[in-house]
Amino acid sequence: MTDLFTTVVRSTVAKRVGVPQPTSLRRYEPGAALCADPVLVAGSGRFEAGLISWLTTVGIATVTNDEPTSDRLGAVILDLSAATDPSELDQLRVIGAPAVKRLARNGRVVVVGTDPATLTDVAAVSTQRALEGVVRSLGKELRAGATANLILARGESAAGVQSAVQFFLSGRSAYVDGQVVRVGESTATNPDPLRPLTGKVAVVTGAARGIGAEIATVLARDGATVVAVDIPGAGDALATVANDIGGTALQVDVTAPDAGRRIVEHATGRHGTLDIVVHNAGITRDKLFVNMDDARWQGVIDVNLGSILRMNTAILADGGMTDGGRIVCVASIAGIAGNRGQTNYGASKAGVIGLVDALSAQLGDRGITVNAVAPGFIETAMTARIPFATREIGRRMNSLQQGGRPIDVAETIAWFAQPGAAAVTGQVLRVCGQSLLGA
């Protein structure tokens, strides 16, 4: 998607005159190290020791705050989960500031805290809530592709924290910045770290092109057998995607009354089971609220929200998704911050967030997690058609000063889908480079 403007602002001349240059982000490659440089782990929280021993087992060098060295750091993990008084927050500054100075390109700051919702002491709650303010501000200060994110633990077990730390350290989270993820109790891990979705059967709706095609591709790369779903009218592009990833193509309109049944029948009939569903299919029909007609309103609400509710009924019925399954929805920054001309779209995507909240609570005892990603400005054929000025603002108005790629959305979804991410449910994770919108 290199237009003339992008070519000009990235030219040697532009660099010389000081036009800020976006950093080429480090993206995930199977088998590559989580990060190239050593990781500082500090903070004296309850997960610190466990994280150090786990990082050692996966071959990442760790350093503690007691070893004076000026080497580059790949990441800084600060475990403040034990802090109960605002005075303890100073540790973040004392340990973190010199460490952040040593952060390598595409480095990571990961802060681990305790979910304030699980606490009652007012000082403890405010201390833990304060971590979010630190991380969100630090994300805006970091440069050269570095990101800062916060993990809030709801319990004592380390597996969930570990899974989230792994995601944030890796290139999978390249475009996730300034975000908070809550993790619960779990002991689950990925049986095969290189192909974490091996043996899983995944359904991706809207898979013929754009972000959906990328999701299908990434899930297949991670080992899943993928059923690529799209409307019959997109069947030719869908066939190409399915053949590229060795999956199967299922032509069905998600708004059809029997769409859920057909998806379940195809997945279980052809592939024996149904483990992962990614509700990605969506449309926009923009119009200012006062001019919005019935077709635009109903169409967007039904495709983006109503169809998911209906399909879930079939997917979650007996003979549908296995226990321990994964449902991932694609929300949008427009569902959080709103967008001019998108009252219908904003409604549908905010509704998806509500769905994730409510359904995740209901499905906990089946071990099924329900999460959503909320993409910000992602470089697709659709965003390439946005008028120049609007597009350039959308692209730049975030801490990473660039648009994300479909693969960034796909990698986050693939993480939610992992067996090791069992502790992550009810989350809406923004993949937006810490966009200023809806921050």
Partner 1 sequence: MATQPSPRKARRAAVLGGNRIPFARGNGAYAKASNQDMLTATLDGLVARYGLAGERLGEVVAGAVLKHSRDFNLTRETVLGSRLDPHTPAYDVQQACGTGLEAAILVANKVALGQIEVGVAGGVDSASDAPIAVSEGLRHTLLAANRAKTLAQRAKAMAGLRPGDLLPSIPQNVEPRTGLSMGEHMAITAERWGITREAQDELAAASHQHLAAAYERGFFDDLVTPYLGVTRDNNLRPDGGVEKLAKLKPVFGKGQNATMTAGNSTPLTDGASTVLIASEEWASEHHLTPLAWFVDAETAAVDYVNGDEGLLMAPAYAVPRLLARNGLALQDFDFYEIHEAFAATVLTTLKAWEDPDFCRDRLGLAEPLGSIDRARLNVNGSSLAAGHPFAATGGRILASLAKALHEAGGGRGLISICAAGGQGVVAILEA
Give the catalytic positions in this structure: 345
Nearest CB to partner 1, comparing residues 275 and 408: 275
Could you tell me which residues come within 8 angstroms of residue 83 by beta carbon, excluding any fewer than 6 positions away? 45, 89, 91, 113, 124, 127, 128
Q: Rounded to whole angstroms, what are the CA distances from 51 to 77, 182, 239?
A: 9, 17, 43
Please select the residue that binds partner 1; options are 269, 319, 365, 385, rule is CB under 8 A.
269
By CB under 8 A, which span of 24-32, 55-63, 226-234, 395-403 interacts with partner 1?
226-234
Beta bridge partners of 248: 227
CA 160 to CA 369: how far, in whole Å?
13
- Minimum gap (Å) between residue 118 Cβ and partner 1: 45
- Site membership for partner 1, residue 238 (CB under 8 A): yes
By CB under 8 A, which span of 33-41, 67-75, 150-158, 240-248 interacts with partner 1?
240-248
Please select the residue that binds partner 1; options are 249, 333, 413, 424, rule is CB under 8 A.
249
Please select the residue that binds partner 1; options are 15, 270, 340, 366, rule is CB under 8 A.
270
Report the candidate in 146, 98, 193, 156 with the shortest Cα–Cα distance to residue 420: 193
By CB under 8 A, which span of 39-47, 110-118, 189-197, 231-239 interacts with partner 1?
231-239
CB 118 within 8 A of CB 138: no
- Minimum gap (Å) between residue 111 Cβ and partner 1: 44
**b/e for 288-301, b at 16 or more Cβ within 10 A?**
eeeebeeebbebbb
- Site membership for partner 1, residue 322 (CB under 8 A): no
Please select the residue that binds partner 1; options are 236, 294, 318, 365, rule is CB under 8 A.
236
Nearest CB to partner 1, comparing residues 66 and 236: 236
- Site membership for partner 1, residue 240 (CB under 8 A): yes
CA 179 to CA 417: how far, in whole Å?
19
Report the candidate in 281, 189, 266, 280 with the shortest Cα–Cα distance to residue 233: 281
Q: Where are the beta strands (DSSP E) in 22-146?
A: 39-42, 62-63, 73-79, 103-114
Please select the residue that binds partner 1; options are 251, 255, 322, 401, rule is CB under 8 A.
251
* Complete DSSP assignment for 282-335: -------GGG--HHHHHHHHIIIIIHHHHHHHHHTSTTSSPTT-EEEEE--THH
Q: For the chain, what is the total number of helices (H) and then of strands (E)?
A: 15, 13
Nearest CB to partner 1, comparing residues 216 and 356: 216
By CB under 8 A, which span of 60-68, 190-198, 263-271, 426-434 interacts with partner 1?
263-271
Nearest CB to partner 1, comparing residues 86 and 233: 233
Please select the residue that binds partner 1; options are 233, 293, 362, 366, rule is CB under 8 A.
233
* Complete DSSP assignment for 349-373: HHHHHHHHHHHHHHTGGGT-EEEEE
Nearest CB to partner 1, comparing residues 89 and 314: 314
Q: For the chain, how far is it from start to end, CA to CA, in angstroms? A: 26
- Site membership for partner 1, residue 319 (CB under 8 A): no
Could you tell me which residues come within 8 angstroms of residue 7 by beta carbon, excluding any fewer than 6 positions away? none
- Site membership for partner 1, residue 250 (CB under 8 A): yes
- Minimum gap (Å) between residue 249 Cβ and partner 1: 4
CB 292 within 8 A of CB 339: no
- Minimum gap (Å) between residue 251 Cβ and partner 1: 5
CB 432 within 8 A of CB 343: no
Please select the residue that binds partner 1; options are 206, 247, 320, 351, rule is CB under 8 A.
247
- Site membership for partner 1, residue 198 (CB under 8 A): no
- What region, left, alpha or beta, does residue 314 occupy, with left being phi > 0 and alpha being psi -120 to 50 degrees? alpha
Please select the residue that binds partner 1; options are 232, 354, 361, 382, rule is CB under 8 A.
232
- Site membership for partner 1, residue 235 (CB under 8 A): yes
- Minimum gap (Å) between residue 244 Cβ and partner 1: 8
- Site membership for partner 1, residue 271 (CB under 8 A): yes
Residues within the interface to partner 1 (CB under 8 A): 228, 232-236, 238-240, 242-244, 246-253, 256, 269-272
